[in-house]
Amino acid sequence: MPIPKTKYILWMCEFSARHMRELGRKPDCTAEDIADKAESIDQAASWMYNALAYFKERGFYHSFDEVEDPQEGQHIYIRRKGSVNGYIYRSGEWVDVGGFDTYS
């Protein structure tokens, strides 16, 4: 069953749609398409985290190596399969500030 197509959910799904277009998997992909395919809001959110890390947007990355010139106090999220973990840059180190499990 598709998820509701609220303004927020479509905003969230647009990141994934752009990701699909960028990868060439579905050149005409829309936020509505993503909402139709998602089995749950959690799945749509998980796809959004993948897209954000791919584009290195809104502080999401796949690894610390992707963060250019980290700044004291900078907060980022590392996307791994099944989780998102937050980190803050303190005294030259990334300090784990917690995370959460995701759909996949």
Domain ranges for the chain: 7-101
pLDDT higher than threshold 80 for residue 2: no
pLDDT higher than threshold 90 for residue 90: yes
* Alpha carbon distance 24, 79 (integer Å): 22
The 3-state DSSP class for residue 86 equals strand
Q: Count CA atoms within 13 Å of residue 102 on its CB side.
A: 20
pLDDT higher than threshold 80 for residue 1: no
* Alpha carbon distance 37, 49 (integer Å): 16
Residue pLDDT, tens place only, 35-69: 999 999 999 999 999 999 999 999 999 999 999 99
Global pTM value: 0.94
State the chain's mean pLDDT as an integer: 96
